[in-house]
Amino acid sequence: MLGIEAARVIIAEALKAGAGMKPLSVVVLDAGGHVIAFERSDGASPGRFDIARAKAYGAVMLGMGGKAQMARAESQAYFMAALSSVYEGKILPVPGGVLVRDGDGGILGAVGVTGDTSDNDAEAALAGIAAAGFRGEA
């Protein structure tokens, strides 16, 4: 189950994995795309919550990690642009939005990390998800 205990582990471990990176912000969403927990490191810019949530929200709503979303955006830009409007601007198709799957592959939610490069953001999210005993799909 992806509850508050697991969310705390994911955030703490993602921040630890990102210790050498720029200040990270990390959100954990449930399987419906709703916020369970969030932390913004000191020194991060104030708007980081919206970025973190959008990365994770798109992953949940589409059932696709940020890397797959980015590939689609690069091959069919107008599609992801229109999709952004369909979801009222609440998605962000880049790495750092990572699906959280259980052992059977079921989607439990998603993690969104922002602050460093998108690829580093995704690495930090994966580290947090693994530490909590789940499988991440970046």
Cβ atoms < 10 Å from Cβ of 42: 5
- Contact between 80 and a second copy per CB under 8 A: yes
What residues form DSSP beta bridges with 111? 28, 98
Tell me which of 82, 102, 117, 119 binds a second copy, using CB under 8 A: 82
> How far, CA to CA in Å, does 86 sit from each of 62, 78, 83, 98?
12, 12, 5, 21
For residues 94 and 111, which CB has a smaller minimum distance to a second copy in the complex?
94
Query: Contact letters (x/-) for a second copy, 96-115, by CB under 8 A?
Result: -----------x--------
Q: What share of the chain is helix, strand, coil (3-state, %, to 5)?
A: 45, 20, 35
Provide the minimum distance between the beta carbon of 80 and a second copy in the complex, in angstroms, as a whole number.
6
Tell me which of 9, 14, 19, 50 binds a second copy, using CB under 8 A: 50
What are residue 95's phi and psi, to 5 degrees? -60, 150
- # residues near a second copy by CB under 8 A: 53
Cβ atoms < 10 Å from Cβ of 91: 25
Tell me which of 19, 20, 88, 104 binds a second copy, using CB under 8 A: 88
Structure tokens at 115: 């602050």
Which residues form the interface with a second copy (CB under 8 A)?
A: 3-5, 7-8, 30-42, 44-47, 49-51, 54, 60-64, 73-74, 76-94, 107
